[in-house]
Amino acid sequence: MPKDEFDFEDPFELNGLAFLTHEDTTSAMAECFVEEFLRMGYNAKQVLALFRNPHYVGPNLALEKCGEPFVRDMIVDVFARWGKPVAWPHSGTSRGDEPHAINPKVQNPLSKIEQHLVTSAAATDEDELLTDPMGAPIPKLNL
């Protein structure tokens, strides 16, 4: 059979299907994208950049539909499940690239660097063995 002809009977032919649904599946889709790229070794900023890129149609659709705060929260949640803390620069801009000024009247015991960051609630310890959500050990990768 020629390579450019599609054979419906070939069990090894890649097939894609679309299912129409009345419920909004954007949240589940965005969560899958975040976890997929996390497992491939992307960091939080790289995952957010994929959602901002219009060439990644699925992630960009979730960003356009739900907004950047939703996507950032989803990234923090998924990374926290995998035991990886996420810190976002705090800002008033939509991009989140510029740190905002700290109110000097607020007494905060954190250092100046930590005051600029919003972190996930995931507690991480370098010495403890990290596991994935299913309980399997996470390999340590040198990237």
Residue 19 forms part of a structural domain: no
Q: What is the pLDDT of residues 47-91, one digit of tens each?
A: 999 999 999 999 999 999 999 999 999 999 999 999 998 888 765
Residue 88 forms part of a structural domain: yes
Sorted by sequence, the CB contacts under 8 Å of residue 111 that are 6+ apart come out as: none
Q: What confidence category does residue 44 fall into, taking pLDDT thresholds of 50, 70 and 90?
A: very high
Could you tell me the residue range of the domain that residue 80 belongs to?
26-119
Residue 37 forms part of a structural domain: yes
Residue 94 forms part of a structural domain: yes
C-alpha angle 28-38-66 in degrees, rounded to nearest 5: 35
Residue 72 forms part of a structural domain: yes
Whole-number mean pLDDT of the chain? 74
Q: Are 88 and 117 in contact (CB under 8 A)?
A: yes
Look up the pTM and report it.
0.54
The better pLDDT of the pair 14, 45 is held by: 45
Kindly give the residue spans of alpha helices, DSSP state H, lying in the chain: 26-39, 44-52, 57-66, 68-81, 112-115
